[in-house]
Amino acid sequence: MTEKQLMLIIIVLSFMYGAMTGSFFNMLAYRLKNRLSVLTPTRSFCDHCGRVISFIDLIPVFGYVLRRGKSSCCGQSINPVYPAIELFTGVVCAFTIPAMLRGLL
């Protein structure tokens, strides 16, 4: 494996890590703002109808694009702030983590 291939893998994994972190931040912000428990329910749920969100819809950014910004359970619009935060944290991590690792590799 070449150094460029390794860096590409690190960039992709860093983006995925950042997007998942952004998704977690979204969950924390929503639940704390609405005075809900962070621990229960353990699964994410639709803001509109309260049903548990399917696995595919939980994939950061991809789930939003796949469903065209609509909830798969009730068809209501998903707030675009959620994927924006996931995308932002993903991009930040995709730039910063590889930069920090360059000196170690």
Q: What is the pLDDT of residue 43?
A: 85
Scanning the structure block, which residue is given the tokens 């704390």?
A: 32
pLDDT tens-digit profile of 35-75? Answer: 998 888 788 888 889 899 888 888 989 999 999 999 888 98
Token pair for 41: 């329910």
Q: What is the pLDDT of residue 33?
A: 94
Peptide linkage before 83 cis (omega within 30 of 0): no
pLDDT of 95 higher than 80: yes
pLDDT of 10 higher than 90: yes
Q: What is the pLDDT of residue 105?
A: 61
5: left (phi over 0), alpha (psi -120 to 50) or beta: alpha
Peptide linkage before 60 cis (omega within 30 of 0): no
Token pair for 59: 């994939």
Mean pLDDT of the chain: 91
Percent of the chain with pLDDT over 70: 98
**What are the angstrom distances between the C-alpha of 16 and each of 29, 73, 87?**
20, 25, 9
Q: Are 11 and 94 in contact (CB under 8 A)?
A: yes
Where are the chain's structural domains?
Answer: 3-99
pLDDT tens-digit profile of 68-81? Answer: 999 888 989 999 99
26 phi/psi in degrees, rounded to 5: -60, -45
